[in-house]
Amino acid sequence: MEHENIAPSEAERPAVESVIKAWRLKRAERLALSKEVDALQKEETAMKSWLINAFTSQQYEGMVIDQRFTGLTEREIHSVTDREALQEFILENDALDILQFRISDAAIFEREGAGIVVPGVQLVTIADLSDRKV
């Protein structure tokens, strides 16, 4: 990739234009493939759901087809049934490790709109690229 040989801070306009055009093509290629993947995943998910329903309703453990076994597997996961009790436990036991730590921009903006300052967070500007028709 020719742009990798040029420092961005030293790139002349023709080099930047070239990389913009290449980026646009790669982005369009990725988006087209992503649409294909999304459609395939939707079909796969529908088939999987149908098969799980068929296996459970007909009490199949699995089937061997073309020397491959396809069958049900089960695992237990934790699911919140009482949010208030869980929150109380986390607060009383300093058990934040139970949570996956990610803040909600929407919840913070809502509080800021109501005049509430949320400590320990700040807005950070992230650089990204946009591409649109002129």
At 129, is the pLDDT very low, low, confident or very high (cuts 50, 70, 90)? low
Residue 19 above 80 pLDDT?
yes
Percent of the chain residues past pLDDT 90, beyond the cut:
49
Instruction: Report the pLDDT value the prediction gives residue 77, as an integer from 0 to 100.
Output: 82
Q: How many helices (H) and strands (E) does the chain have?
A: 3, 2
Instruction: Report the pLDDT value the prediction gives residue 99, as an integer from 0 to 100.
Output: 85
Averaged pLDDT score across all residues of the chain: 89
Instruction: Report the pLDDT value the prediction gives residue 1, as an integer from 0 to 100.
Output: 66
**At a CB cut-off of 8 Å and minimum separation 6, what does 80 contact?**
86
Instruction: Report the pLDDT value the prediction gives residue 93, as an integer from 0 to 100.
Output: 93
d(CA 69, CA 74): 15
d(CA 87, CA 93): 10
Closest CA to 25 of 97, 121, 134, 131: 131
| Mean pLDDT (whole number) for 70-91 | 89
